[in-house]
Amino acid sequence: MRVTVAEDRVIRIQGDPDHPPTHGALCTKVSRYAERVEHPERVLYPMKRSGPKGSGQFERVSWDEALGDIARRLQAIAARNPQAVLPYSYAGTMGLLQGEAMAARFFHKLGASLLDRTICASAGAAGLQATYGGKLGMHLEQFAGSKLIVIWGSNSIASNLHFWTFAQQAKRAGAKLWCIDPRRSETADKCHRHLALKPGTDGALALSLMHELITRGWLDADYIERHVEGWPELRERALQWPPERAAQVCGVPADDIRELARDYGTTQPAAIRLNYGMQRVRGGGNAVRLVALLPCLTGAWRHPSGGMLLSASSWFLRAIDHAALQRPDLLAGRRPRTINMSTIGDDLLREGSEAFGPKIEAVVVYNSNPVAVAPESRKVVQGFAREDLFTVVLEHFMTDTADHADYVLPATTQLEHLDLHTSYGHTYVLLNQPALSPRGEAKPNTQIFRELAARMGYDDACFFDTDEALARQALKPGIAYEALQAHGWQKLPLPDAPFAEGGFLTPSGKADARGADHLPNHECAESTPALAAQYPLAMISPPARHFLNSTFVNVKSLRSIEGEPLVEIHPDDAAPRGIATGMLVRVFNDRGSYRCKAEVSTRARPGVVNGLGIWWRKFGVDGTNVNELTHQQLTDLGRAPSFYDCLVQVAADAPATSVAPAVA
């Protein structure tokens, strides 16, 4: 990103045209980033709660008062049991310094509970780890040279724009594009073929593709022989999945599966852009394993423009020293329990016990908005509303979570602080240099934890490291801080075709097919018939194009594009329910109810509704959002939430032309 500034104000924000993977392009959201930084509702001063929990009533206090009181409260809790304190953070910034650096040092020193950061990607990560030995994949730029691209569980135009540019280059050069997505997304519209499978059935589809590769003779026997472990067993299982059987499970024509298999089996180089949408279901981890094996069966990995990409973030382990940043040695032999961030709803409501450990008495939230983004909101809200819970939130805005805080501390944005970034989509290390001075009394997360550490009396040298010192400590030999300062970014030294000769990072060096299987255990008529009789529609809740999870929802120019919270429903499901576009509907199940506007549209496939996310609850008709309906059941691998594995019913509520949000 290049920011032009005059008198400490942003004049212009552009992409860096020299940076190969992003090539000068910014998405709509980030191109409006200045609107967010200078937003009139930005939290600019430390705020202390002055009304009941969750009331959103706060008064301004000094940093001195806020930090002093927070340190005293945390110390009192820690004196009983430090594990009663829980850090809660995720993707607000994905920067290494403002993420888990000084914060991690602070909580390690305290001996706080550890957080299992599972809310987004850990099912897929576990799938890749098991299969390839890490989150490893193709170079983004190489998709431009592919002859076939399967965009699988990804609305690239909305959420992976930089990839989409390369896919378009390939398309212009004659490549065929397939999209595998229950929703007819903006991306599906632009692909040659769209397979609108039922959510949670990707594993069955992958097995059926394998069936065709085997029976039609499209396998690369030499690559399999040398670089795949456990294929004979998986081969037997795949042979039980002829296209007719998968067609039944996936809800798509068998001939479409055959056509996709033929394209995949007979085109080189063939690339799969897998993304996280398809692993937010209970069988998501194994589904990723099966898809990750496809390029090993056809030898697609032999080509730089063949193979697959879900995440390439493990390549960065060669460049980044996370232990130097996070200093797990500060635990000094203590082994605190781990809390899964995806079950925060249940865990905040748990009493202390032998198995669970102490009741959670304090939560420090940074880079996250759990009240809006975590599953089964009713419980999450109930937990954060506990009068006996001490909550500190580092934020830019009064989010749904900040509303429940005892203290809200003003944090800086990307434009106001230093940071170091990796990526899961591309293979470049980047330096984020501040362009503006901090607004109001905002401080970087690092600085807030540094000052809190001082108040707690932590005098280890590592609590005095500056942000630049942190960045230097994070870089392993080969990436120089000065080079990043000069150019902004540096590419990781990696071969163009990383697995052309095998060399996976598994212990055997082979792609591991052992134990990869499909368990059709998502919520559906076959596996949960009683539930499906009551709640016959499957609901997925992928992001709205102009929001970034729950970030940007309060930026007016972006919210006005998205309009109002809505659910897309297919005409065949809308008609019998008397639902028309613009009507207010009630989407509900045993966990809760969410009222929003209906959009009758073939973007939804029959039997599936799309509740686009993630709105702030306070913008919802009843002060709720789509996570009122999602559950806390975890995936087969990786302990991740299964947001897109969620049966609901939809009913007409009242005719309405416009739904007034609770907050203007």
Ligand X SMILES: Nc1nc2c(c(=O)[nH]1)N[C@H]1C(S)=C(S)[C@@H](COP(=O)(O)OP(=O)(O)OC[C@H]3O[C@@H](n4cnc5c(=O)[nH]c(N)nc54)[C@H](O)[C@@H]3O)O[C@H]1N2
Binders in 284-343 for ligand X, by CB under 6 A:
none
The region of 58-66, 91-99, 218-226, 292-300 touching ligand X under the rule CB under 6 A is 91-99
Report in angstroms the alpha-carbon separations of 237 from 118, 219, 403, 514, 526.
29, 16, 51, 11, 20
Binders in 255-274 for ligand X, by CB under 6 A:
none
Residue ranges of E strands in 284-423: 307-309, 338-340, 362-366, 390-395, 407-410, 419-421
**What is the nearest approach in angstroms of ligand X to the Cβ of residue 220?**
25
Q: Residue 587 class from Cβ within 10 Å (0-12 exposed, 13-18 middle, 19+ buried)? A: buried
Q: Rounded to whole angstroms, how far apart are CA atoms 360 and 237?
A: 45
Closer of 446 and 506 to ligand X (Cβ): 446
**What is the nearest approach in angstroms of Mo ion to the Cβ of residue 120?**
3
Closer of 307 and 613 to ligand X (Cβ): 613
Binders in 517-556 for ligand X, by CB under 6 A:
540-543, 545, 547-551
* Per-residue tokens: 537: 């529609």
Binders in 176-235 for ligand X, by CB under 6 A:
180-183, 185, 199-200, 202
**Which letter does DSSP use for residue 358 in this model?**
S
Interaction between residue 46 and ligand X (CB under 6 A): no
Q: Partners of 399 in the beta sheet?
A: none
**What is the nearest approach in angstroms of ligand X to the Cβ of residue 579?**
20
Q: What are phi and psi of 228, to 5 degrees?
A: -125, 135
Binders in 596-635 for ligand X, by CB under 6 A:
613-614, 626-627, 630
3-state secondary structure 98-126: CCCCHHHHHHHHHCCCEEECCCCCHHHHH
Q: Which option in Mo ion, ligand X, none does residue 163 bind, with CB closer than 5 to 8 A by kind? A: none
Report in angstroms the alpha-carbon separations of 88 from 277, 501, 600.
23, 41, 37
Closer of 142 and 445 to ligand X (Cβ): 445
Q: Which option in Mo ion, ligand X, none does residue 554 bind, with CB closer than 5 to 8 A by kind? A: none
Interaction between residue 114 and ligand X (CB under 6 A): no
Interaction between residue 132 and ligand X (CB under 6 A): no
Q: Which option in Mo ion, ligand X, none does residue 345 bind, with CB closer than 5 to 8 A by kind? A: none
**What is the nearest approach in angstroms of ligand X to the Cβ of residue 252?**
11
Q: Partners of 410 in the beta sheet?
A: 395
Q: Rounded to whole angstroms, how far apart are CA atoms 632 and 481?
A: 42
Binders in 409-428 for ligand X, by CB under 6 A:
411
* Per-residue tokens: 343: 């079950």
Closer of 299 and 438 to ligand X (Cβ): 438
* Number of residues near ligand X (by CB under 6 A): 57
- Pick from 131, 208, 399, 447 the residue near ligand X by CB under 6 A: 399
Task: Provide the terminal-to-terminal Cα distance of the chain, rounded to the nearest Å.
Answer: 31
Torsion angle (degrees, nearest 10) of CA 220, 225, 230, 235: 40
* Per-residue tokens: 53: 């929990």
Q: Which option in Mo ion, ligand X, none does residue 200 bind, with CB closer than 5 to 8 A by kind? A: ligand X
CB 506 within 8 Å of CB 133 = yes
3-state secondary structure 223-259: HHHHHEECHHHHHHHHCCCCHHHHHHHHCCCHHHHHH
- Pick from 132, 316, 366, 499 the residue near ligand X by CB under 6 A: 366
* Per-residue tokens: 617: 């609850």
Interaction between residue 90 and ligand X (CB under 6 A): yes
Closer of 135 and 327 to Mo ion (Cβ): 135
**What is the nearest approach in angstroms of Mo ion to the Cβ of residue 549?**
7
**What is the nearest approach in angstroms of Mo ion to the Cβ of residue 100?**
16
Closer of 170 and 312 to Mo ion (Cβ): 312
Question: Contact positions toward Mo ion, by CB under 5 A?
Answer: 120
Q: Establish whether the linkage from the previous residue to 269 is cis, with ω within 30° of 0.
A: yes
Closer of 92 and 307 to ligand X (Cβ): 92
Q: List interacting residues with ligand X (CB under 6 A).
A: 90-93, 98, 119-120, 152-155, 158-160, 180-183, 185, 199-200, 202, 275-278, 281, 366-369, 372-373, 394-397, 399, 411, 445, 540-543, 545, 547-551, 613-614, 626-627, 630, 643-644
